[in-house]
Chain A
Amino acid sequence: MKGTAIILLVLGTPLVQAATPGEILASYRAEATRVSPGYRPSVAQGAHLYGRQFGVSEKMPACSGCHTARPSQPGRHVVTDKAIKPLAPTANAERFTDPAKVEKWFRRNCTEVVGRECSAAEKADFMTFVMEGR
């Protein structure tokens, strides 16, 4: 019993790598610059990705569908109707502080909404827009 509990605890303890949104953005930016030198994160590109109706998935056509038109507002899951905390770090200090979590959700949500994984440049653009806290 005790052994099992310890195993569960160890398995369950996330290898939390705390980071700031700025650091996570910087690493996406560095990756994007490696692919295309001269790349600069763009708020406009990020806003476009955030609001674009991709229409790939009938149930979840756009990021803004769940995260609402404004990243600083609390969201609502279009499928389950459950509340989602605001995406903007200015409104929710937990956002973009765990690289593994950020990567996981970019992977999941881009795959379904965009129909493929997002590139490092798209992630950097998206974060730059979201971090403005509009």
Chain B
Amino acid sequence: MHKILVWDWPVRIGHWMLVGAFALAWLSSESEAWRLVHACAGGTMAGVVIFRLFWGVVGTRHARFASFVRGPGAALAYVRGLATDSPPHVVGHNPAGGWAILALLGLTLLSAASGWFVYQDAGGTWAEDLHEGLSSMLLGMVLLHVAGVLLGSLAHRENLVHAMFSGFKQGPAHAAIATARPLPVLVLLGCAVLCAWWFAQ
């Protein structure tokens, strides 16, 4: 086992942008004075997720959906394995985490889309309630996700949160990604800014 590069820059920057924007959106959700900020935060999240969908196809090895989306059986087996003495170690996202990621990305898009309708005053109370419901589901999913990350960190005695900052995890040398791909971060930022701007129109 070595210390190897696993998460590229777009994955890491995108992740912490989601966390920041989600916190901002949540804190500003009850206020008209902060409504513009709220719409921009939601737009930023949508932009990051749209980029992430694209990056999940053309990104580095562990960022690709093909590398971490597994069937429900694999996810269950992984969770069961966590309770044993030798929990299965995965270098990229584990099969259970993969499902959480899909749910987070999907709920973020749906929540942002419903929010756009509310902001355009184009869905009435129906859209307001849908947006609130989806956002609460997203919050629930985030809490589950963070719990999963902490559980995984304990089970493998590896600080996964730190890895989401540094990009490095423990793993065999052949599983490392070759470069951290800093340049596509510009595309990520462009996508986020464009969506944030567009959402606030």
Closest to A97 in B: B125
Residues in A with CB closer than 8 Å to B130 are 8, 11-12
CB of B110 within 8 Å of the partner chain: yes
Whether the Cβ atoms of B33 and A85 lie closer than 8 Å is no
Residues in B with CB closer than 8 Å to A16 are 125
Given contacts A14-B126, A80-B39, contact A59 B33 (CB under 8 A): yes
Q: How far is the CB of B131 from chain A (nearest CB, A)?
A: 9
Residues in B with CB closer than 8 Å to A84 are 121
Whether the Cβ atoms of A79 and B32 lie closer than 8 Å is yes
Q: How far is the CA of A64 from the CA of B200 in the complex (A)?
A: 23
Contact size range, B: 20 to 34
CB of B119 within 8 Å of the partner chain: yes
Residues in A with CB closer than 8 Å to B33 are 57, 59-60, 79, 112
CB of B73 within 8 Å of the partner chain: no
CB of B36 within 8 Å of the partner chain: yes
CB of B133 within 8 Å of the partner chain: yes
Q: How far is the CB of B35 from chain A (nearest CB, A)?
A: 5
Q: How far is the CA of A98 from the CA of B129 in the complex (A)?
A: 13
CB of A26 within 8 Å of the partner chain: no
Main secondary structure of the interface of B (DSSP, over half): helix
CB of A132 within 8 Å of the partner chain: no
Q: How far is the CB of B107 from chain A (nearest CB, A)?
A: 10
CB of B31 within 8 Å of the partner chain: yes
Interface residues of A, CB < 8 Å — how many? Answer: 26
Whether the Cβ atoms of B121 and A82 lie closer than 8 Å is yes
Whether the Cβ atoms of A94 and B124 lie closer than 8 Å is yes
Residues in B with CB closer than 8 Å to A116 are none
Residues in B with CB closer than 8 Å to A111 are 30
In A5-56, the 8 Å CB interface with B consists of: 8, 11-14, 16
Whether the Cβ atoms of A109 and B133 lie closer than 8 Å is no
Whether the Cβ atoms of A11 and B124 lie closer than 8 Å is no
In A63-106, the 8 Å CB interface with B consists of: 66, 77, 79-80, 82-85, 94, 98, 100-101, 104
Q: How far is the CB of B10 from chain A (nearest CB, A)?
A: 28
Closest to B120 in A: A82
Q: How far is the CA of A60 from the CA of B121 in the complex (A)?
A: 19
Q: How far is the CA of A101 from the CA of B124 in the complex (A)?
A: 10
Whether the Cβ atoms of A60 and B126 lie closer than 8 Å is no
Residues in A with CB closer than 8 Å to B126 are 12-14
Q: How far is the CA of A13 from the CA of B200 in the complex (A)?
A: 26
Whether the Cβ atoms of B133 and A11 lie closer than 8 Å is yes
Given contacts A80-B200, A82-B119, contact A108 B30 (CB under 8 A): yes
B interface residues (Cβ-Cβ under 8 A, vs A): 30-33, 35-36, 39, 110, 114, 119-121, 124-126, 128-130, 133-134, 137, 200
A interface residues (Cβ-Cβ under 8 A, vs B): 8, 11-14, 16, 57, 59-60, 66, 77, 79-80, 82-85, 94, 98, 100-101, 104, 108-109, 111-112
In the assembled complex, 6 residue pairs joining A and B whose CB atoms fall closer than 8 Å, in A order, are: A11-B130, A14-B128, A16-B125, A79-B33, A108-B31, A112-B33
A sample of 7 more A-B contacts (CB under 8 A), given A14-B129, A57-B33, is: A11-B133, A12-B114, A12-B133, A13-B126, A14-B126, A14-B128, A98-B125
